[in-house]
Amino acid sequence: MSKYDELGLKVGFEFHQQLDTEHKLFCNCPTKLSEKDTPDYTLTRYLHPTKSELGEVDQAALEEARLSKQYRYHGYQENTCLIECDEEPPQPMNIEALETCMEVSLLLNARIVDQVHTMRKIVIDGSNTTGFQRTSMIATQGKIETDEGEIGIDGISLEEESCRKIEGDIGDIEIVYSLDRLGIPLIEIGSEPDIKTPSQGRKFAEKIGEILRSTQKVKRGIGTIRQDINISIEEGSRIELKGAQELELIETYIEKEVERQTKLIEIKKQLQERGVKEKQLNGEIKDVTHLFTDTDSGIIKSALQNGVVLAQKLKGFKGLVGKEIQEDRRLGTELSDRAKKAGGVGGIFHTDELPKYGITPEEVEKLKKELNAEPDDCIVIIADKPNKAKEAHKAVTERARQATKGVPEETRKPLPNGGSEYMRPLPGSARMYPETDIPPVNIKTKKIKEIKQNLPELISEKIERLKKEYNINREMARNIIKNQKTSLFEETAQKNIPDTIIVRTLTGTLQELESEGYNTNKITKKHFKQTFQLLENQEISKEVIPDILKTITKNPELTAEQAVQKTGKTTIDTEQARKTIQEIANQKEEFIQERGMGALGPLMGIVMQKLDKRIDGETASEILKEEIQQKL
């Protein structure tokens, strides 16, 4: 039995992948992000929570509402409209997005619903102008096999993407969003909590990613796919790690959350041993500003210009607030996260870490005396404006009370080192209610059968087939698929030229051109076919291909043949090449005598430059080799 079995680890995923459709989910705006530095218009919103269909208010929404933030939105004429601004009702659901979602559902062995209903999910963090996100259940009861066991798929939904954040963070009064991303179709895939180890979690994520990419109907690039990871252990609680994007960090995220929950359980047990009860943490706050009137602490001095220093005693918490629960994070960091979120303060001080930050031992002793602290107590102080400091202290009290129970349920933000920090309470079912502006969509059995008959080949299967049929290695096959050039490769691979040249052109050469700043999107499938035909007809050498493609990116109206003429690099015959190579060999005879056949490499560079790459490199090498041998 592994340590994860002993701990009762359970992990589930929610994947959010943008679909590469022509239009957004509920309007006809394109799904391209704006590249403008300045918006065409802006608008401002203040968002408030509403009750669900059961008459309840979601706790996560309530916490966001208490922050009283202002949200400003940037709009652009080319990809936003009145629907994103919440000034016009949504249009009917995008059928292209729905059918892509159905295709993925079938690849996940899921059961597609008979009728699609759209719901509103309350979200008032400003990421949507309406205060809710539209979401529709498409399929349920799917499954995926991994080498560590079967993982169930609880549900597959079609949602609208949120706004793109431009400016703002915890503590800021105003947050700025861009409307260009709002409404892009998003597929959500939620698994059952069947994952039992970190490695199984990574393998599952890789498999889901493969299935999504296999459709060739999803967007690619940073930010187009995100994972929410739900993690719990038997004595802990479920937390949601929100928006994890780094696939290679998935195992680390899970491992570090297990570590965090284990340490929090240890803290709970230590508090129990000390006899600390939740009700003893009464949240009594005391103004201790007078103790720091002559302080050397720069942080407190700055805060006291228009603020106060407030303190509270955490009974029995000595040594525990400073206890490390993750790399570079302590229980005190958790308290600080809550304080920052609730009060917008810069952070907290606590006596487990003092004296420090300019706060002297004498000030610490005065502080303990002022609050009648006992040896096992810890004191938390916050220096800021009175209202902000009070709200922050309330959050500290609440988090300290939760420590007596163990691990609180919450949504957390992933950090670059694999750790996490607090975002908000874990949302519940109270945030859902029906969408009344969008009619239901009936799913016909005929359409399901049609999609099922045309399911795409999975990437792993395609790699094996390309290897077998075209005698290329795994890496070449993977690169062809990664660059979405499979169909073009298969159409041109029948030509009388080595497949490796085609692979190299469609992958490596294009990447090199892009890194040099060339817009390779201007090179069409027709251009590639024409170029390979010229190569097959021996009208160009393979070395000239990059120059042809560069010319086409600048003049996309040209054919490949016209691009060759423009570069002036049509193939020369072997005798012309031999004459040029002989001249070079004669000029470098002394060098050849000195280096022998070792002169071949250095002279090849001179030869290809002189011939302007108008002859195949292998042919030039053979001729040069003959000329060198004749002189030895």
pLDDT single digits (tens) 251-262: 999 999 999 999
pLDDT at 625 over 60: yes
Q: Measured between alpha carbons, how far is 592 from 589 in angstroms, rounded to an integer?
A: 5
Q: How do residues 324-356 score in pLDDT, each as one tens digit?
A: 999 999 999 999 999 998 999 999 999 999 999
pLDDT at 362 over 60: yes
CA 152 to chain centre: 23
Contact 192, 151 (CB under 8 A): yes
pLDDT given at position 56: 60
pLDDT at 414 over 60: yes
pLDDT at 410 over 90: yes
Residue 19 is given by DSSP the state B
Are 231 and 287 members of one domain?
no
pLDDT at 171 over 70: no
SS3 324: strand
Where does the pLDDT of residue 206 fall: very low under 50, low under 70, confident under 90, or very high at 90 and above? very high
Are 559 and 578 members of one domain?
no
Query: Would 608 be classed as within a structural domain?
Result: yes
| Overall average pLDDT of the 525-529 stretch | 91
| Overall average pLDDT of the 154-160 stretch | 97
Query: Would 58 be classed as within a structural domain?
Result: yes
Query: Would 444 be classed as within a structural domain?
Result: no
| Overall average pLDDT of the 548-568 stretch | 89
| Overall average pLDDT of the 129-157 stretch | 95
| Overall average pLDDT of the 522-531 stretch | 91
Q: How do residues 310-324 score in pLDDT, each as one tens digit?
A: 999 999 999 999 999
- Please state the domain count of the chain: 4
Q: Which amino acid is at 460?
A: S
Where does the pLDDT of residue 568 fall: very low under 50, low under 70, confident under 90, or very high at 90 and above? confident
- Least confident window among 7-21, 218-232, 318-332, 593-607: 593-607
Are 257 and 311 members of one domain?
no
Query: Would 411 be classed as within a structural domain?
Result: no
Question: Quick check: bond before 355 cis, omega within 30?
Answer: yes
pLDDT given at position 57: 56
Where does the pLDDT of residue 58 fall: very low under 50, low under 70, confident under 90, or very high at 90 and above? low
Are 46 and 170 members of one domain?
yes
pLDDT given at position 10: 97
pLDDT at 222 over 60: yes
- Phi, psi angles (nearest 5°) of residue 77: -60, -35
Query: Would 92 be classed as within a structural domain?
Result: yes
**Which of 160, 515, 255 minimizes the C-alpha distance to 507?**
515
SS3 472: coil
Burial of residue 212 (CB within 10 Å: 0-12, 13-18, 19+) is: buried
| Portion of the chain with pLDDT greater than 90, in percent | 67
- Phi, psi angles (nearest 5°) of residue 193: -80, 55
Mean pLDDT taken over the chain: 90
Q: How do residues 102-114 score in pLDDT, each as one tens digit?
A: 999 999 999 999 9
CATH of the domain at 304: 3.30.1360.30
SS3 481: helix
Are 342 and 224 members of one domain?
no
| Overall average pLDDT of the 550-560 stretch | 92
Domain boundary among 223, 250, 271: 271
pLDDT given at position 620: 72
Are 380 and 524 members of one domain?
no
pLDDT at 448 over 90: yes
Other Cβ atoms within 10 Å of 597 Cβ, number: 11
Query: Would 453 be classed as within a structural domain?
Result: no
pLDDT given at position 170: 63
- Phi, psi angles (nearest 5°) of residue 118: -100, 135
Are 555 and 593 members of one domain?
no
Query: Would 225 be classed as within a structural domain?
Result: yes
pLDDT given at position 53: 56
Where does the pLDDT of residue 461 fall: very low under 50, low under 70, confident under 90, or very high at 90 and above? very high
Domain boundary among 529, 547, 567: 567
Residues whose CB is less than 8 angstroms from the CB of residue 438 and which lie 6 or more positions away in sequence, other chains included: 26, 90, 92, 93, 118, 134
Are 145 and 169 members of one domain?
yes
Q: How do residues 274-296 score in pLDDT, each as one tens digit?
A: 999 999 999 999 999 999 999 99
Other Cβ atoms within 10 Å of 480 Cβ, number: 26
Are 352 and 391 members of one domain?
yes
Element (H, E) at 150: strand 149-160
- Phi, psi angles (nearest 5°) of residue 619: -65, -45
- Phi, psi angles (nearest 5°) of residue 583: -60, -40
pLDDT at 55 over 70: no
Are 242 and 334 members of one domain?
no
Query: Would 295 be classed as within a structural domain?
Result: yes
| Portion of the chain with pLDDT greater than 70, in percent | 94
- Containing structural domain, residue 100: 3-24+37-271
| Overall average pLDDT of the 572-592 stretch | 77
Listed in sequence order, the DSSP H helices in 274-330 are 298-303
Are 513 and 473 members of one domain?
yes
Are 20 and 82 members of one domain?
yes
| Overall average pLDDT of the 365-370 stretch | 97
Domain boundary among 523, 547, 567: 567
pLDDT at 451 over 60: yes
Q: Give the number of C-alpha atoms closer than 13 A to the C-alpha of residue 143, restricted to the C-beta side.
A: 7
